[in-house]
Amino acid sequence: MGYCTKCGAELKDGQSFCTQCGKPVNDISSNIPSNVNDDGGFLWGLLGFCVPVAGLILYLVWQTERPLSAKAAGKGALVSVILNVIFVIIYIIAMIALAASGAFIFEPGVGY
Ligand SMILES: [Zn+2]
């Protein structure tokens, strides 16, 4: 389904000529440029995950040109950042726990 580029008449699927003006439909079929390699692939997500900064840049640069790839890269970057934040929080909690338990262990030794 599309519209004639010449007269704007509505066109049905499989229609090869516009019923209003007779313009061939062939050149209307691709409204979205198909020559762009917008696969939204897993690799872009992986890249975003491994290099969040690159993922973020690709997400911003490709938003209009390659929306699917941009989303994949951005999602990878986001997941990476979230995991990093979680890891840092766990690390800090572990350090606090370790410091707390360390204090308990070493306290009796003070009056040796
Ligand atoms: Zn037409």
For the chain, the structural domain boundaries read 1-31, 32-111
What distance in angstroms lies between residue 30's CA and the mean position of ligand 1's atoms? 16
Neighbours of ion ligand 1 (CB under 5 A): 4, 6-7, 9, 18, 20-21, 23
What distance in angstroms lies between residue 17's CA and the mean position of ligand 1's atoms? 8
Cα–Cα distances (Å) from 107 to 61, 95, 112, in that order, read 57, 18, 10
Token digits for 9?
A: 């008449």
Answer left, alpha or beta for residue 8, where phi above 0 means left and psi between -120 and 50 means alpha. Answer: left
73 touches 59 (CB < 8 A):
yes
- Each residue's pLDDT tens digit, 64-112: 989 999 999 999 999 999 999 999 999 999 999 988 887 665 555 555 5
pLDDT at 111: 52
Please report which confidence band the pLDDT of residue 40 belongs to, taking 50, 70 and 90 as the band edges: confident
pLDDT at 28: 43
Please report which confidence band the pLDDT of residue 33 belongs to, taking 50, 70 and 90 as the band edges: low
* E strand spans, 1-112: 2-3, 10-11
